Amino acid sequence: MKFGSSKETQQLLHLAGKMAKADAPVLITGETGTGKEVIARTIHAQSSRKYNPFVAVNCASFPDQLIQSELFGYEKGAFTGAYEKNIGKVEQAHSGTLFLDEIGDLPHNQQANLLRFLQDSAIVRVGGRTPIIVDVRIIAATNVNLEQGVEQNSFRKDLYHRLNVLRLQIASLRDRPEDIEDLTKHFAEEFIQEYQMPNKAFSNEALGILKSYPWPGNVRELHNKVKRAIIMSEGKVILPKDLGLERRDTRPGIQTLKQAKDETEKNVLLFTLRWTNQKIPEAAQLLDVTRATLYRLIDKHNINIHINRTHKEPKAVTIEKDNRVTIS
């Protein structure tokens, strides 16, 4: 799996490699789509358990009444429809790694069962009585704030401390833009091979858009957009139109020079009109424009004014280099 060359990613992989050598629980945190399961698999692949099972469980994907039987299994006849014994995810991961994704969404009553397993290294299947010893390494992941969950009593404090022995924080993709080109090319090669398509390259403009897009869905969203581009592009070069990204979304929080100029101009107008109690002659004099120009600017920026009789007479309005407005 390609991860990227940013210093954040290289540091993450370095820490993951160190954690792989230990056999303690790992808690991976980060936004949705940042690749928490990929990192968990990387830790497993570098550990002494690498030739044994890696079993992933999404704790948010099962109804409350099913999560216990999914995790710990059940005996034949344990409930209606239990026609045969079922081995749960924990038992399936014996001698390997159990990855508990979205651990923050585990129902509170099941947190107690998981804690008991972590303490005793033994499970009891639903409908059973005999404890079964299971040897697994736990890697948990979450995109929610577990510390806040502990404070709000939605997540058990004792379970949190059991899981939070080794911790990895994955940065969002927008915070490591150096990885975008590496990941884009890696995903493109995968899809070209998967769909048996001729080689395609991203144009510089398309790569520029990918690098400046905020990626709210992180690596998962990039993965999907690259797949779309590979499928939808008609030539050997992938163009911006193939990405399915609107240009207005590719510059989050960044103004054009015209937008910045207009905003500053409006702020100066508002400040000056407030200072002069909206007296046009004095405001025009301070701004060094004619009254006609001032009225035009007021109309341009949709500023509502009314006439006031009193005001303080400033000497000058100055716009500093950082766009701050000062009166002297």
Chain segment 240-270, per-residue pLDDT in tens: 999 988 654 444 445 567 777 777 888 888 8
Q: Would you call 315 helix, strand, or coil by DSSP?
A: coil
Question: What pLDDT, on the 0 to 100 scale, is given for residue 247?
Answer: 52
Interval 68-105: pLDDT, tens: 999 999 999 888 888 899 999 999 999 999 999 999 99
* Start-to-end Cα distance in the chain: 61
pTM confidence score: 0.72
**Residue in the structure block whose two tokens are 């911790």:** 167
pLDDT at 1: 56
For the chain, give percent helix, strand, coil, nearest 5. Answer: 45, 10, 40
Domains defined for the chain, CATH in brackets: 7-171 (3.40.50.300), 175-249 (1.10.8.60), 257-327 (1.10.10)
- β-bridge partners, 114: none
Question: Which positions of the chain have pLDDT values less than 70?
Answer: 1-2, 246-256, 305-328
pLDDT score, position 245: 84
Residue 125: its pLDDT value, please?
93
- In the chain, the largest separation of any two C-alpha atoms, in whole Å, equals 92
Question: pLDDT value at position 310?
Answer: 43
